[in-house]
Amino acid sequence: MPAAHRHRPLTTTTRWQRRPWAAVALASMLAAVLPGSAQAQLADAQLNDGLQALPAPLVAPKPPLSMVVPSQVLRWRQEAKDLEHGENGMPRDPARAATLYCQAAQHGDAEAQYSLAWMLTNGRGIERDDAQAAHLFQAAAEQGMPQAQTMMQRLGTPLGEPPPCLQPMAVQLPAPPAAVAAAQPPARRGAPQLLPEPPLPANAPAPIVNFVKLVAPEFKLSPQLVLAIIGTESGFNPNAVSPKNAQGLMQLIPETAARFKVRNILDPAQNIRGGMAYLRWLMAYYQGNVVLVAAAYNAGEGAVNRYRGVPPYLETLGYVRKVLSQLSQVMHPYDASITEPSPMLPLMRVAGMPVQRR
């Protein structure tokens, strides 16, 4: 573990670390008299000191996002396989098998994407369609399936729009907690219902919460959104490193860190500022649509543009659901001066880009 992140003995904590509310009050008073650069340095120092004083479990390895395919999707895939091959007492029915593979593929199941692509490229009981097969092989390959990556090398880059089996599904928002819904006054007829934000993550360390509350407004971001991203990305572990070399609290890859001028990717303050700069850019690029912003933060804006919405990746679909479960709104204010909107946004709107609340 780097020396900068070693756990300090309890005997070395300061009274500001023992009383986080006092540190916040001190920061507020100093903010009124210090210039902007000094305020930023003070906030960064308080975050680093606070994290150093936290107990060791904070820097435990980050558990990966669950990659377990939902049971219904598994049933679709298994039934499709039985129908494709006429196994387990099922009659051979390629057309029905393709329909079930398609449903599972749309829900991000890489094996179903590969199986349907194989049927299409070989004309196994259904009409051959190499164009659709290439898109399906690509989706499975992007999720790390070696067989699909081999097929992608043979077929090359897909042309045209993704097929219906890979089109984005409606995103279902979690129902608001009963206590939050009960506290909300009835909306006027025709007026949008604005729910209060849910509580902040219970496992969010106070130094990170205080830093995000102080700095997020500089980037025109909701602290709730930033904390939801940090919690989903790293579990609030400042030393988290993914197999794809995404690092730190907001899991920046080196290319993104360089893009947003982060010099020390594992410095917690720099990492959060870099992640917030990227979120601010994505907010402008997708005109405040939190669903698209969360999907792009996980999978990249290129994938979101290519699929006209949330990509059909199991991890990304689960990631978006987890982030949205911590928020109450799917639209967020944005600074249009940061960047031009995505050129694909009008097509996403034509496609409906539906959002549903259960």
| Residues designated as active site | 233
Dihedrals φ, ψ of 232, to 5°?
A: -75, -35
Query: CA 117 to CA 124: how far, in whole Å?
Result: 10
Long-range Cβ pairs for the range 51-56 (8 Å, 24+): 51/5, 51/205, 51/207, 51/208, 51/238, 51/268, 52/4, 52/5, 52/6, 52/7, 52/8, 53/7, 53/8, 53/12, 53/13, 53/17, 53/207, 54/7, 54/205, 54/207, 55/7, 56/7
CB 257 within 8 A of CB 238: no
Name beta bridge partners: 357.
173
Residues near 316 by Cβ (< 8 Å), separated by ≥ 6? Answer: 108, 295, 298, 299, 303, 310
Q: ∠46-223-249 over CA atoms, to 5°?
A: 60
Query: CA 33 to CA 183: how far, in whole Å?
Result: 39
What would the two tokens of residue 116 be? 């349907």
Sign of CA dihedral 340, 346, 351, 355: positive
Distances (CA, A) of 134 to 111, 113, 128, 315: 14, 10, 12, 21
Scored b (16 or more CB within 10 A) or e, 6-30 reads eeeeeeeeeebbeebeebbeebeee
Measured in whole angstroms, how far is the alpha carbon of residue 26 from the centre of its chain? Answer: 34
Residues near 40 by Cβ (< 8 Å), separated by ≥ 6? Answer: 215
